[in-house]
């Protein structure tokens, strides 16, 4: 969808979209329109006929060894997906209802945190979005009557003037002792420094270790009762140290990007509930996470956000540009902290995409994958006992999967040199398998989108390729959302040598990867 041309049009469009998203989601067959069911049945029938009615190239003797590898990888990946699906259902149906009931009962009996501190950063955000975000916060402070200090980290007076004007107009009925607004103008660039300045301000103002602190972005709108549903979890579980919430996305940009993001958030719901069964998550999402305030008193916690870095044999010591949510998550792992996911507290993310859709997709993958790779290696080094065996293996699997995901398309292409029809059989299987996977994902979506099976495979291939590139270029970072920041793009002689070595590693590794597969397929003779 195109971006509305005026603030009024933007606000009006947001109102319609938020109204639709706040309605209860349909369940089961109620999600499906008759036309979608007919199209699905037609697709399944067509795939079934092609798999059974056309000559099956998978079992041809000259390519049977390829089928064995592809089938084994498929069983492994499907088994892992099925494991997550089962764990997610256990969490959703058996574990979560009891947690919610205990937290809701405690809240109904009057429990509230002593004080709430909200840490939010914003940078030249769309005025309509900023006003909606602040309005959603004020509305819940007014409803829940929780003493709150809202700290907003800004880079200029632009966002401050919009927020101050909105608060003066719409929060006149909120007493000063109930809600306080504090602006923190950063004196160094980057979101991480803004967060660090806010946390230091929280410490100077005085904070009780039992207070709660929300980390959120300037484009994240609270859904209904988010404060009640998240804060009550800490009262009901004294051991809980941090949590993150469900997310929905509103995208102003290409329609297929909206479909892709919807699919990504459905994947996130499934995975988060699976992870939460182990009392851990794989990220404390920056859009909206809640922490016990005792961690804000730790200089190590603050410095982890401000100056998180890696020491790399090729790139030396380099700071992380984005990924503050991964840094806070890693710190919590080192503290053996209990973390969870709240599936019924929804935050609405607003994405405004002005550039090329595919380019933005790749850029997001570079940022997400880079953050995952930079933090995943050191989290793995903590060991399964420290991290939790299942979560630890999830981290290991992320690094293995980026290669195994590329085995199938490469081997299919190589096999087509032996039997040209083989790749056609592989394409049929790819579509059939992704349709099956999406039937699982549709359980975690608000609506049905039959483009998902095709977007899912595109997502998997591009993501795997980006991860392979990033594993050799960990210092390269780019973030268009906050002033088009970038890192790791030096032009000196040392940088040229580093980049040359990284490219050499990438080319030789990928070439070796393809060569090994070509030898196994049989189109290249082994050199020994």
> How many Å from the N-terminal Cα to the C-terminal Cα in the chain?
57
pTM, full prediction: 0.93
Question: Which pLDDT value is given to residue 145?
Answer: 93
Question: Which pLDDT value is given to residue 495?
Answer: 84
Give φ, ψ of 523 to 5 degrees.
Answer: -95, -10
Tell me which residues of the chain have a pLDDT lower than 70: 1, 478-490, 528
What b/e string do you get for 9-40 counting C-beta neighbours within 10 Å, with b at 16 or more? ebbebbeebbeebeeeeeeeeeebeeeeeeeb
**Rounded percentage of the chain residues whose pLDDT exceeds 70:** 97
Question: Which pLDDT value is given to residue 488?
Answer: 56
* Strand positions, DSSP E, 357-479: 477-479
Question: Which pLDDT value is given to residue 1?
Answer: 64
Angle at 393 between CA 217 and CA 384, to 5 degrees: 95
| The token pair that represents 198 in the structure block | 């806010």
Radius of gyration of the chain, Cα coordinates, nearest whole angstrom? 25
Question: Which pLDDT value is given to residue 480?
Answer: 58
Angle at 218 between CA 21 and CA 114, to 5 degrees: 90
């Amino acid at each position: 969808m195109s971006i509305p041309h005026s603030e009024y049009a933007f606000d009006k469009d947001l109102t319609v979209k938020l109204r639709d998203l706040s309605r209860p989601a349909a369940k089961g067959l109620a999600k499906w329109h008759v036309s979608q069911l007919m199209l699905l049945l037609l697709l399944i029938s067509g795939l079934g006929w092609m798999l059974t009615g056309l000559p099956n190239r998978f079992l041809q003797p000259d390519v049977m060894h390829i089928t064995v590898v592809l089938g084994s990888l498929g069983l492994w990946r499907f088994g892992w997906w099925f494991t997550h699906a089962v764990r997610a259902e256990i969490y959703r149906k058996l574990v979560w209802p009891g947690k919610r009931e205990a937290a809701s009962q405690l809240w109904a009996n009057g429990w509230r945190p002593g004080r709430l501190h909200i840490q939010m950063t914003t940078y030249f955000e769309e005025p309509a979005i900023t006003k909606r975000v602040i309005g959603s916060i004020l509305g819940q402070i007014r409803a829940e009557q929780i003493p709150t200090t809202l700290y907003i980290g800004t880079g200029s007076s632009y966002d401050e003037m919009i927020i101050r004007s909105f608060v003066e107009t719409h929060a006149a009925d909120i007493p000063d002792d109930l809600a306080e607004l504090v602006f923190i103008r950063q004196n160094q660039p980057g979101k991480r420094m803004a967060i660090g300045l806010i946390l230091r301000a929280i410490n100077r103002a005085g904070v009780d270790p039992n207070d709660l602190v929300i980390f959120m972005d300037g484009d994240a709108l609270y859904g209904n009762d988010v404060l009640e549903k998240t804060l009550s979890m800490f009262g009901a579980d004294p051991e809980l140290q941090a949590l993150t919430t469900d997310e929905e996305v509103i995208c102003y940009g290409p329609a297929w990007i909206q479909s892709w993001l919807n699919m990504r958030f459905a994947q996130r719901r499934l995975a988060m509930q699976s992870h939460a069964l182990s009392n851990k998550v794989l990220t404390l999402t920056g859009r909206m996470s809640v922490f016990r305030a005792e961690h804000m008193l730790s200089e190590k916690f603050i410095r982890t956000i401000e100056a998180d870095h890696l020491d790399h044999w090729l790139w030396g010591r380099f700071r992380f540009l984005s990924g503050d949510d991964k840094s806070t998550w890693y710190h919590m792992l080192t503290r053996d902290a209990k973390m969870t996911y709240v599936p019924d507290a929804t935050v609405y993310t607003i994405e405004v995409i002005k550039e090329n859709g595919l380019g933005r997709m790749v850029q997001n993958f570079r940022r997400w994958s880079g953050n995952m790779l930079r933090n995943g290696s050191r989290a793995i080094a903590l060991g399964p006992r420290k991290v939790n065996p299942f979560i630890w293996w999830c981290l290991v699997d992320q690094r293995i999967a980026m290669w195994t995901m590329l085995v199938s398309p490469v081997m299919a292409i190589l096999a087509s040199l032996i039997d040209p029809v083989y790749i056609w059989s592989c394409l049929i299987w790819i579509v059939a398998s992704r349709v099956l996977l999406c039937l699982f994902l549709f359980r975690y979506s608000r609506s049905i989108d039959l483009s998902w099976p095709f977007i899912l495979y595109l997502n998997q291939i591009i993501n795997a390729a980006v991860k392979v590139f990033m594993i050799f270029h960990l210092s390269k970072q780019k973030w268009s959302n906050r002033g088009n920041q970038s890192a790791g793009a030096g032009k000196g002689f040392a940088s040229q040598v580093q980049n040359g070595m990284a490219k050499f590693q990438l080319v030789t590794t990928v070439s070796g990867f393809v060569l090994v597969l070509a030898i196994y397929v049989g189109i290249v003779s082994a050199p020994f």
